[in-house]
A and B are shown apart, each in its own frame.
Chain A
Amino acid sequence: MAETCELFDCGHRACGGCGAALVSRLILKATGKDVIVVSATGCMEVFSTPYPETAWKVPWIHSLFENNSAVASGIEAALKKQGRKEKVVAIGGDGSTFDIGMLCLSGAFERGHDFTYICYDNEAYMNTGIQRSGATPYDASTTTSPAGKCSIGNSRPKKDLPQILAAHGAPYVATASIAYPSDVVKKIEKAINTPGPCYVQIHAPCCTGWGFEGEKTLAIGKLAIETGLWVNYEMEDGVVTRVKKVVRKPVETYLKEQKRFRHLFKPKVNAEEIAKIQAIADKNAEKYGTDLKLKSKPDPVVP
């Protein structure tokens, strides 16, 4: 085996520029080898385990689509009885996490299992060919929220899942983006070393589903943060303790780079809808205090 390869091995079959592939790699970088991974159905499951191979050099189990938290619950509870110390990490995409797996996720967090749930959020069902999910942003066009004469795309805002899980009493909830890899690793390390159920939601741009060139994955991820449409923050015991601050750019800079928002610019600019998306970014900035104020005295930053 090549020396350069990591615990998440090279040679998987993700698209060039896949954000989720980077998530897998960073997860195992953070956990090390003493981990048991529970992977829900989705792109990551499929591209990392092409017959007859696997990219996972740690114990790995594919659950079904809706149940990775429940399988992880069983593993964690049984390990605890045996006095074993391996970490348990459940991974799901946004479809499995926000929608079909929500029931099991809520149950596991309420029971307080000591495991970490990581959602790679590429904002739609990519494995089945780009259908909307509860994480799909407002106005994004997908195959089940197609933009056209009768539709502006996905008509609902993204579900605020981190807040829902924090409301379960989770000791540590964080959002991250693959645009900032070392931050991802730091947050996963913190999650797995915090007793109790922890949640990390990682923004993982999908070049195929969102419609941009694979070499731009990190740049798109960065723009999401720089426009305020994605906020990187940490919550400890339900309180926001750290926020990534930015000098915000207008949302168009992010939207116009992606085919899923193309209908907002062609055949003519839909200023009304873009203003609504700008309002979402403004609200995020206000809620989390992301705006970096350059000239005035800096806000007291929580250590």
Chain B
Amino acid sequence: MSTIQFMQGNIACAEGALAAGCNFFGGYPITPSTEVAEHMAVKLPKQNGTFIQMEDEIASMASIIGASWTGARAMTATSGPGFSLMMENIGYAVMTETPCVIVNIQRGGPSTGQPTMAAAGDMMQCRFGSHGDYSIIALCPSSVQEMYELTVKAFNLADRFRVPVFLMADEIIGHMRERIIIPDKVEHTARRPLESGVLPFHPEKDLVPGFPGFGKGFGVHVTGLTHDERGYPCATNPKLHEQLVMRLCNKIENARKEIADYVVTNPEAETVFVTYGVPARSVEQVLHDTGSKNIGHLRLKMVWPFPEHAIAEFPNATRFIIPELNLGQIAREFDRHTRVPVIQVPKLGGDLHLPAELKKLTGVGI
């Protein structure tokens, strides 16, 4: 039986992780994400899991990489400055194809910025923040319910694609308390094991290699250096490097349509809002208040890989309005995939877009 509860977003994230079978949390306190760690500190030991408070975010990210290679479902949670510290290790997790989940409860940046205020300023950082070319998956919840559901999903995607998966929430969603339905069980995609006789980094058709893990008899060699299918470093072979990096990118990019996760409202509309995270709430209010079928809403629950095909869901669109808690990071990405005019509605400082200001932009009911 599912249960209905009243819960904070960060707690819902931790509960989602526990439901997904997360059994390792390595983290470091930072506002506004700390509740995730605190909840895991209380709950994980009771489920025979491991909670470790590491000495910083570099160590936190490194610890979940280590844990993941033992077969653990591992996660960390952080915010702005901590996210920046994780970047080198995130690139390492991408290169070594280590499944892991990174929660970022975004706050105002750059630097220490606004520890207690919401932002979405790390959307490009999560996509491109570590050096080199690569692809990752990023999910954006816009409710407490989705903090739970998308955390579960993040674990499944991480294991399926052997890639770091990001839950890119924000301070408002993280600290908001609202109604949530906790299902009695959740979907669980197991990590595909490596078959015997197959090289540890030999990809299957979907470009994802089976997971060898430590102690399974595969003689695993894990390195951040460019490596061949045995996992052995071969850092001066141009062809090999190109093949490896292309595969790391394409295993995600090829699945773009299949794994895309978005919600379409009023597909016949001419004016279409595009949102992810908390601005979706303001747009839903506009749709509710106006009742107009001529205002559409494309709500992205997965921002990376970017679901460019979703734009075609609105064949009549004459303009896309994109409210974001940054200076237009995803609006720019959206803009390069369409000829329809894109109107950016950036907002900094931590306040939400008011439904009234968004409604004004539609020209409906003024």
Contact = CB atoms under 8 A, between A and B. Distances in A.
Contacts of B57: 100
30 contacts: A62-B112, A64-B111, A66-B56, A66-B85, A95-B29, A99-B28, A99-B56, A100-B56, A100-B57, A102-B55, A125-B29, A127-B31, A128-B30, A129-B29, A129-B34, A129-B38, A131-B34, A131-B53, A132-B53, A143-B34, A143-B38, A143-B41, A144-B29, A144-B37, A144-B38, A145-B41, A145-B53, A146-B41, A150-B46, A151-B45
B81 interface: yes
A221 interface: no
The residue in A41, A95, A143, A144 that gathers the most chain B C-beta atoms within 10 A of its C-beta is A144
Interface of B: 28-31, 34, 37-38, 41-42, 45-46, 51, 53, 55-57, 81, 85, 111-112
Contact of A65 (B42, B46, B53, B81): B81
A131 B112 contact: no
B55 A131 contact: no
Given A66-B85, A102-B55, A128-B31, A150 B41 contact: no
Contact of B81 (A64, A95, A145): A64
Given A62-B112, A102-B55, 7 more contacts: A64-B111, A66-B85, A125-B29, A131-B53, A143-B34, A146-B41, A151-B45
Contacts of A129: 29, 34, 38
Contacts of B55: 99-100, 102, 134
Given A66-B56, A99-B56, A128 B45 contact: no
A42 B319 CA distance: 46
Which 3 A-B residue pairs are closest in the complex by CB-CB distance? A100-B56, A99-B55, A128-B29
Interface residues of A, number: 23
Contact of A41 (B28, B37, B51, B112): B112
The residue in B46, B57, B112 that gathers the most chain A C-beta atoms within 10 A of its C-beta is B112
Contacts of A146: 41-42
Interface string A43-79: 0000000000000000000101110000000000000
A41 B34 CA distance: 16
B38 A131 contact: yes
A100 B28 contact: yes
A204 B112 CA distance: 25
Contacts, number: 51
Nearest to A41: B112
Contacts of B81: 64-65
Nearest to B33: A128
Nearest to A131: B29
B43 to A, nearest CB: 10
Given A41-B112, A150-B45, A128 B53 contact: no
Contact of B37 (A99, A102, A131, A148): A131
A42 to B, nearest CB: 11
Contacts of A62: 112
Contacts of B111: 64
Contacts of B42: 146, 148
Contacts of B41: 143-146
A20 B31 CA distance: 20
Contact of A144 (B51, B56, B85): B51
A145 B29 CA distance: 12
Interface in A64-120: 64-66, 95, 99-100, 102
Contacts of A41: 112
Nearest to B46: A150
A143 B38 CA distance: 6
Contacts of B51: 144
A107 B51 CA distance: 29
Contacts of B46: 150
A32 B61 CA distance: 42
Nearest to A45: B112
A195 B42 CA distance: 46
B28 to A, nearest CB: 7
Contacts of A144: 29, 37-38, 41, 51, 53
Interface in A113-171: 125, 127-129, 131-132, 134, 143-146, 148, 150-151
A143 B28 CA distance: 12
Contacts of B31: 127-128
B35 to A, nearest CB: 9
Nearest to A148: B42
The residue in B29, B38, B55, B111 that gathers the most chain A C-beta atoms within 10 A of its C-beta is B29
A62 B81 CA distance: 14
Contacts of A148: 42
Contacts of A145: 41, 53
A132 B55 CA distance: 10
A65 B111 CA distance: 10
A95 B81 CA distance: 15
Contacts of A125: 29
A132 B28 CA distance: 10
Nearest to B56: A100
A65 B112 CA distance: 9
Contacts of A150: 45-46
Nearest to B28: A100
A24 B154 CA distance: 44
Contacts of B30: 128
B223 to A, nearest CB: 23
A41 B28 CA distance: 14
A206 to B, nearest CB: 15
